[in-house]
Structure formats: C-alpha cells, structure tokens
Structure 1
C-alpha cells in the first residue's frame, strides 16, 4: 500500500515563492516511492480542512513549509494526531527551526523532514493559547505590533521599527510573578516566556531552554536601553548582567500593574494584565537532525 505524506505550504510566509520547495519536496517523495499530497493554506478555515485531509489520508508524516505561525497552525489542527512533523523553514520568523538546528538549505532539510529521528516537544499554554516557542510581554511585542502595521517590511522595515519602538518605549511595568511556590515582584521592560533558547534571528535569549524537559523559563529583562536591545535583536544577549533574571518552572501566574503588549510566537495578541502559564509536556513530535 502506498504511503502518504501531507505537505502543508503557506504561500505567503516570509514573502518568498514556494514553488522550489514544492518541486524539490515532490521529487524527493517520488524517489522514495511516497505519495505526496499538497495543501496550500488560505487563511480560510485551514484548521478544519487540515484535520479533514489528515483523517482521509492518514499520512506517515506531515511536512510543514512555512514559519513559526504556520507550524503552530498545523500543530493546533492536529494536536490529537499521533504523527511526526517535518519542518521546512520558509517564514519570516523561523525561530523553532533555528532552535531545532534544522538545516537552512533545502537539499539538507528535506531528508531531515522525511526521515530523521524525532523529539517529543513540550508546548506552553498561556491563558489557554498554545505557544511552541517564545512569547513575550513588553518591548518586543511592541516591536512586532509596529512592524505588523508598518508599510515597509523586510530587514529595513524591521530595523526602522526597532528604532521607533525604542524611541516611543513605554515606562517599565511592574509584574508580580507566582512560580515554584514563591512570589517575585519586579519592574521590567520585557518578560519572555520561553520554551526554547533562541529567537528566529538566532539570538540566545534563554540559555537554559530545553524543549522537552517539562519546564519553561521566564526571562525578566529589567533594563533595556538601545545597546542591550540591539544586542538581543542582532546577536547575543548579555545574560551575565544584573539586569536579567531567569525563573525555570512548570507553571506561573503573572499579574501586571497596567495592560502590557503581548505576543505569542511572533504574532501580536493585544494587551494583557494577567497571564496564566503552564507547560503541556510532550505534545508534538518533530523531526530533528
């Protein structure tokens, strides 16, 4: 009996043409004697359509070509399915792929997506919403909001918004965090809720991040001036400074003194005054090198 592979492609992610990915993936499947079915997301009831396709095909693997948002969409659609996900990074934010050390080159990452060993990854639940990777409160969420609503995209658009965001940055907020049986109060510019180590830019924000250890980290960034924020966005975060504190836990409550901008996995979610955060262990099987 022929084995099926479901390839889910987001045609708009990363502003790049996906025809090369579709051709290369189809060729690889043919060579392996696999039947490939391609689904292109439309932002119109994708969740139900992906579920239906999965139930009909019962694929060996689900391969996702897109960024963090696309992976999250597919993971949510198929959260009860026992299937391995292969990732072909093709988004503007490929944080998860970066963290899993998935190769950047197409000819290197297709075999990984089809064949390799897999890891059972945790997810984080924040006020009932799933986060696979990194969510945050404060400055970076403001940046994402500004970037989403700006006319100029790409690296220059991003750089411009970094500048604008810092120029208009709000006063630090006060957070009361309950975790590990303790209550911590802190004044911060940004709080990262991290399942993993790196942002899509390759920046290590959470050196302790392990995606299958049943824990997440809260990274409290207390003081962010331009040089530090620039370092976070461009390269590495200077964790040794006293301005950063990391709490590792499996559940937490965060109360804020005023509404603060919030984002999940690169998507702006509005302002929040309270977050309930918990780990949901071993929710997702992902192929890794």
Structure 2
C-alpha cells in the first residue's frame, strides 16, 4: 500500500463534505493507497502541509479545493517532486478544467489512469501563477466577488454582467521579447491555462507544458464586439476576432500605465505599476484528465 495526502479546504466553493464523508470516499476511490486527510485553516497551512508530507512521504497528493488551494499546495511542495491531482471543490475550478478535470469523478479517473504531465508555471513579480493572471475586467470581477457574501458560481454570474458592460479600457506598455507595443485594452491576460472556471476559453493557443505562455489583449468596444466575444469564449476561437491580440512568449514585462486592477490565480494583487513574467518550464507534476491538451507525452 502507498501513502497519499488529501489536502482539503473546507470552505472552498459551496461544498458540504465533512471529514468522515471524505475518508469513506477516499477508501472506495483510491484502492492501493492509504489516505491521510489534512484540512487547511488559513493559518500557516504551507508549513503544516510540508510537515505532513515529510511525516508520511506520500507518493501522491490530492488537492480538494479551488485554484487558490491548488496554488498554495503546489508552492508548499515545489521541491518534493511528487505528483499532484486536483479534486475540484472550488467555486469555479478553472485550473482543474485546464487539466482535463471537469468533475470530481474525473479526478478519481485521473488517479486510476495515472498519466503524469510536467506542467509549466509562470513566475510573476515573485509570485507563482499556474493558471491565469489578468488586468481589467476579470480582476475587477474577482474583487467584487471577494466583497460579496455569495459563494460559488452564482456569485460570479451575479457580478459579471455589470462588470462586462461598465469596464473602461486602460493603457498598457507591453515589452515582449524584443518587441515593445502600446496597447489600450479592457483586459490583458497572462495565460498558462486555456480557460476560466466558467468554461470561457480565453487562450486558444494554451498548452501547459510547451515552455511558453500567452499574453492576450481584449478590447471589445461595441455591442456587436461583446456578442462576438461571448460566442468566441464558448467556441474557443477568440483569436479570430479583430479586437483580440495574442502573443506567445517565454517572458514579458507589462507596464500598467493607468492603475488597472490585477489578479493572479484568483488572488488580488492591487495595482502594480509593472509586472514581470517568466516561464518556469515543467515546474510541477500533475495527474491529468483525458481532455488535457499536451505538447509532451507522459
């Protein structure tokens, strides 16, 4: 029997699992593993996770939570070379969807298949980004969501409509490899993954193990632009629109000339004057679902 850790965030999303229920599920879904459950509390979780990892020396770590929980666990175990798998219990679970894990059942299937992929990370101003970072519309939406009492997808949907139509374009200076570009946009995305938790595909070129990330400028201006953009999010052809520009890079610098809001993996970063981003190729091991798009085979 092999040891595994299940790191569980009890306040992620709107899940109502308790420790006993999780233990029963893990015993059924993870034959061949001895599971050890640890719950996050919001205080010194990174130290606790590393201590428990060193105590049990697991061969697999499951992460029950949303993007923020996944990021925290990955940072805590960055030097341990252990496979991670997401059990999507967060509000939107965007990173899990990028990994081909749409539902909780996909996580158990990923463990059974045990397809390990080396996943890239982006280092942004000293912070880890596994999924998506952005200036503008989505960052504003996340800030509203944090200030709202509603949790889960309903909270996102409730705040999204007003944000989409009230957002104003901001000016940015993009330094991409040897190219410098002045950009006016309602949203600038730094993308490792391909989609948000809502299923909106923002990064049509997104492959999480190719040693590149994408910088995407979105600047819809007319009602027609918004309708086309909404449809393109669903179809996955956003890069065909005139109001969208995409660059694939290994590093970049973005000057935030008008103080736009900025977020990394769902965590607000206030209004940085400058953001520097650099790829960390094959930084983590993740078990992935069948729909995961890979550049390198496992």
Same fold (TM over 0.5): yes
TM-aligned CA deviation for residue 235 of structure 1: 2.9
Higher relative strand content: 1
Matches within 5 A, 1:78-97: 78-97=77-96
Where does the alignment leave 5 or more consecutive residues of structure 2 unmatched?
A: 290-298
Deviation track 1:227-275 (CA, whole Å, cap 9, x = no partner) reads 3497179734643221000011000000121211011112222112210
Q: Is the 8 A contact 1:262 1:272 kept in 2?
A: yes
Where does the alignment leave 5 or more consecutive residues of structure 1 unmatched?
A: none
Q: Structure 2 CA distance, aligned partners of 1:123 and 1:46?
A: 21
Does residue 261 of the first structure (1) align with residue 261 of the second (2)? yes
- Counterpart position of 1:68: 67
Q: Is the 8 A contact 1:205 1:232 kept in 2?
A: no
TM-aligned CA deviation for residue 224 of structure 1: 5.2
Q: Structure 2 CA distance, aligned partners of 1:214 and 1:288?
A: 18
Q: Structure 2 CA distance, aligned partners of 1:101 and 1:275?
A: 29
TM-aligned CA deviation for residue 153 of structure 1: 3.6
Q: Is the 8 A contact 2:122 2:279 kept in 1?
A: yes
Q: Is the 8 A contact 2:47 2:76 kept in 1?
A: yes
Q: Is the 8 A contact 2:202 2:233 kept in 1?
A: no
Are the structure 2 counterparts of residues 157 and 230 from structure 1 closer, same or farther at C-alpha, using a change threshold of 3 Å?
farther
Q: Structure 2 CA distance, aligned partners of 1:103 and 1:150?
A: 25
- Counterpart position of 1:163: 161
Q: Structure 2 CA distance, aligned partners of 1:28 and 1:154?
A: 25
Matches within 5 A, 1:28-177: 28-29=29-30, 31-32=31-32, 34-106=33-105, 108-113=106-111, 115-166=113-164, 168-169=166-167, 171-177=168-174
Does residue 282 of the first structure (1) align with residue 279 of the second (2)? no
Calculate the TM-score normalised by the size of structure 2.
0.89
DSSP-derived class of the 1:112 partner = helix
Q: Which of the residues 173, 180, 193 maps onto 1:196? A: 193
Are the structure 2 counterparts of residues 232 and 284 from structure 1 closer, same or farther at C-alpha, using a change threshold of 3 Å?
farther
- Counterpart position of 2:241: 241
Are the structure 2 counterparts of residues 98 and 125 from structure 1 closer, same or farther at C-alpha, using a change threshold of 3 Å?
same
Deviation track 1:40-74 (CA, whole Å, cap 9, x = no partner) reads 11111000000111111111111111111111010
Are the structure 2 counterparts of residues 176 and 44 from structure 1 closer, same or farther at C-alpha, using a change threshold of 3 Å?
same
Q: Structure 2 CA distance, aligned partners of 1:100 and 1:217?
A: 17
- Counterpart position of 2:25: 24
Runs of 4+ in 1 over 4 A off after TM superposition: none
Are the structure 2 counterparts of residues 224 and 204 from structure 1 closer, same or farther at C-alpha, using a change threshold of 3 Å?
farther
